[in-house]
Homo-oligomer: A and B are copies of this chain.
Amino acid sequence: MDVTAFKERLKEKGCKLTLQRRSVLDILIKHSGEHLSTEELYEKVKENYPEIGLATVYRTVQLFEEMHIIDRLNFDDGCSRFELASEEEIHHHHHLICEKCNKVFEVENDLLEEIESEIERKYHFKIQDHHLMFYGQCEECLNKKRGK
């Protein structure tokens, strides 16, 4: 997303373009695929912008979430984590979480359309989004266990 488009989307919401908001977005883009927490975002933004406050980062991720710029993820590690929302309408990757080393992998795979339409029909529920996480063991940890 470029600065002009970003400013435009903020304006639509009656919000202003501030250096803090730009800095948070920059870090999110720079670290896409890393699922940073608010605290981690704050630490990274501070490297270039030491005056920023943690509360501002919390307020910014809330705003970005409402604007659908980012998605909030929960890996049960005590804090929210974020990733850039995909630009396309139908996005969706899933997450593999290794219960040994806690690493998170992304999976490009949807295939949920079938399940979604069945659920929509059966339960009269209009689905707008989904989160799918798989828990288990990653290749590396499987090999370690087997002593390879």
A131 nearest in chain B by CB position? B133
| Copies of this chain, whole number | 2
Would you give the 0/1 interface string for A94-117, flagging 1 where the beta carbon is closer than 8 Å to chain B? 101011000001010101101110
Interface SS of A by simple majority? strand
Residues in B whose Cβ lies below 8 Å from that of A129: 134-136
Interchain nearest-CB distance for A85 vs B (Å) = 13
User: How many angstroms from the CA of A40 to the CA of B145 in the assembled complex?
Assistant: 39
Known: A130-B134, A134-B129, A136-B127. Contact between A109 and B119, CB under 8 A?
A: yes
Interchain nearest-CB distance for A66 vs B (Å) = 12
User: How many angstroms from the CA of A57 to the CA of B78 in the assembled complex?
Assistant: 18
Residues in B whose Cβ lies below 8 Å from that of A118: 109, 111
Checking B125, B131, B132 against A137 with a beta-carbon cut-off of 8 angstroms, the contacting residue is B125
Assess whether A142 is in contact with B126, with CB atoms less than 8 Å apart. yes
Interchain nearest-CB distance for A130 vs B (Å) = 5
A114 nearest in chain B by CB position? B111
Assess whether B105 is in contact with A123, with CB atoms less than 8 Å apart. yes
User: How many angstroms from the CA of A80 to the CA of B76 in the assembled complex?
Assistant: 9
Tell me whether A124 is interfacial, beta carbon within 8 Å: yes
Known: A74-B74, A76-B74, A111-B114. Contact between A127 and B135, CB under 8 A?
A: yes
